Amino acid sequence: MAAVWPEVAAAARERRRELTLQGAAVAERVAAGGGRLPAELLALPLLQSLQLSGCAALRELGPGLAAALPALHTLVLSGNALGPAGLGAGLGGPLPALRLLDLSGNGLEALPAALGGAGPPEEEGGEPAAFPQLRSLNLSGNRLRELGPGLARAAPQLQELLLSGNRLRALPGALLPPADAAPFPLLSRLEAADNEVEELSPDIAALPALKSLDVANNRLSALPAALADCPRLKDANLRGNPLRDRRLEKMVNGCQTRAVLEYLRSKGRADGGREETRRRKREKPQKKDGGDGERDEAEAVGKLLLKVLHVGDGPAPMVVRASPGVRDVRPYIVCCVLRGVQLRPGNALRRFLSAQTKLHEDICEKRTAATIATHDLQLVKGPLTYGVQPPAELKITPLGRKEIRAKDLLRQLQMEAEEQRKQKKRQNVSGLHRYLQLLDGKDNYPCLVDAEGVVISFPPITNSEKTKIRKTTRDLFLEVTSDTSLQICKDVMDALILKIAELNRFTLENKEEGSGSDDESDALCGPVNVNPNQNTQQPLVVEQVRVVDMDGNLKVLYPSKTDLATVSSLLTVIR
């Protein structure tokens, strides 16, 4: 047999803790050794990191690797030809310090027994975990069709599991252990793109720490509502799947994770409500005294009330004319009128403004996806024009400020931001100053102008003091703009109307009951005891606003008959 490998000999002599073996010379030695690693490798007990990649001749690790390298915390074996048997010999014993294991690109059709593959079943309270410290496991680019629940026992502290480029049919599938075991309590990143996944099981919600999920380019035709129950999920790549729900597909392609999760959550509620209705109909008692009517009335009272007026049912809709120039700056706008809000009692106005800020942070993704502006309808002089003006010509009276040109406003805000940063000695600033960069490089700025020529909105920066919301405001003009998509505008408007309806109910109930609570979350804490005979909860009324081009051709009408569908399970929508 050939002499000792020079790299291994040098590592032993210099008592190295890291060893990388790759290249054509290493591949030739492996092939000459029958597809195995040299035995001298097992005489490096101080080794902490071992990388052997890109060696198509490597088919087995050889026995005793785990026992010989107890300090190993990083093991990279990507791009080889290792199979379950060849891996099992080397990984047959525990590696208590191993934190990263990369087995990508080996053509594995099954996992070795040490990683929960085929092998004798473990008994409850039996052998300790083989990889108690393993944090990252890369199995991408193999031929795996399924993963067994044994992986959760072998690597209970796993935080990152990479499975892209395999042949998986279901996720999580058999990956999760039985219900009485802890299912990866720390797993925050799960990648399974480019597989054959046809079903994303509701069991995905059993991963309590999941933050990032990638199942792009699979065969998913639907997404479970339970996906929205993942408490920490922030980033979900779901593109490239043949989803039947076209609206959901548009959200997915727009990479709007929050909007997708909210849509799934509301859709799940609606589906659950329909199933409950069907169940009640099946169990419906035969009463002649109107018992069913009373029950239906009680259910209706428990919902928020929203009345949607269409063209033939109310006054002529307000019109917004969109000029051609907005196409290159901020092309999408959706507007509507909302009548009957309650902002006078207690801190209702403060809660209303706080809710708008939260929507900007969440579904609007810090205003990068969309921007909301709310106006006192009585102060809005229509028809309106949505257009663009040069920064040096656009004038606005921002909230709480004097009239100023747009370019001077941005310069002033930038100076304030820099001063704030210096005073507070921090890298980031809060409030309006965070959105200044959204207009970088624009030759013209978007604006909404009323019939008197006054700029009432300068998205995504501010709206005007002229149409400012006050405690006396009863009717609102709502505006959502975006440079991303029209659907995002509609989704944000849906969410805004739902939030206002929730706040309105909360305000009315506290006014009736004399409650001193100012906690906005109280409005979301389940059904409220309202006496239906008092009939004090008046419905909000949404009126349509038409957006047309300069020739009068309709571009957007909101709400149309298909809008507000995602909130219909929470609102009584009367069309």
Q: What pLDDT, in 10s, does the model give residues 154-211?
A: 899 999 999 999 999 999 987 887 654 557 889 999 999 999 999 999 999 989 899 9
Spans of all domains in the chain: 6-115+129-233, 297-574
Provide φ and ψ at 121, rounded to 5°. Answer: -65, 140
Q: What pLDDT, in 10s, does the model give residues 32-78?
A: 888 888 888 888 889 999 998 888 888 888 777 878 888 999 999 99
pLDDT band at 432 (very low <50, low <70, confident <90, very high): low
Q: What pLDDT, in 10s, does the model give residues 297-339?
A: 444 444 677 887 654 444 567 899 999 999 999 999 999 999 9
3-state secondary structure 210-258: CCEEECCCCCCCCCCHHHHHCCCCCEEECCCCCCCCHHHHHHHHCCCHH
Q: What pLDDT, in 10s, does the model give residues 105-121?
A: 988 998 888 887 654 44
Residues 344 and 376: their CA atoms lie apart, in Å, by 14
pLDDT above 60 (res 401): yes
What integer pLDDT is reported at residue 525 of this predicted model? 26
3-state secondary structure 405-440: EHHHHHHHHHHHHHHHHHHHCCCCCCHHHHHHHHHC
What integer pLDDT is reported at residue 332 of this predicted model? 96
Output the CATH code of domain 297-574: 3.50.40.10
What integer pLDDT is reported at residue 478 of this predicted model? 97
More confident residue, 124 or 127: 127
User: What residue has token string 């349509």?
Assistant: 544
CATH architecture of 6-115+129-233: Alpha-Beta Horseshoe (3.80)
Asked if the domains at 6-115+129-233 and 297-574 fall in one CATH topology, the answer is no
What integer pLDDT is reported at residue 210 of this predicted model? 93
Residues 130 and 431: their CA atoms lie apart, in Å, by 50
What integer pLDDT is reported at residue 135 of this predicted model? 94
Q: What pLDDT, in 10s, does the model give residues 259-291?
A: 888 888 877 765 554 454 455 555 555 444 444
pLDDT band at 296 (very low <50, low <70, confident <90, very high): very low
Q: Which residues, including other chains, have CB under 8 Å from residue 512's CB and lie 6 or more apart?
A: 530, 534, 536
Q: What pLDDT, in 10s, does the model give residues 135-150?
A: 999 999 999 998 877 8
Answer whether 521's CB lies under 8 Å from 319's CB: no
Q: pTM of whole model > 0.85? A: no
Residues 143 and 107: their CA atoms lie apart, in Å, by 5
3-state secondary structure 177-188: CCCCCCCCCCCC
Q: What pLDDT, in 10s, does the model give residues 496-553?
A: 998 898 888 776 666 554 444 433 333 322 222 333 333 445 678 999 999 999 999 9
pLDDT above 70 (res 85): yes
What the block records as the tokens of 208 is: 């309590």
pLDDT above 80 (res 88): no
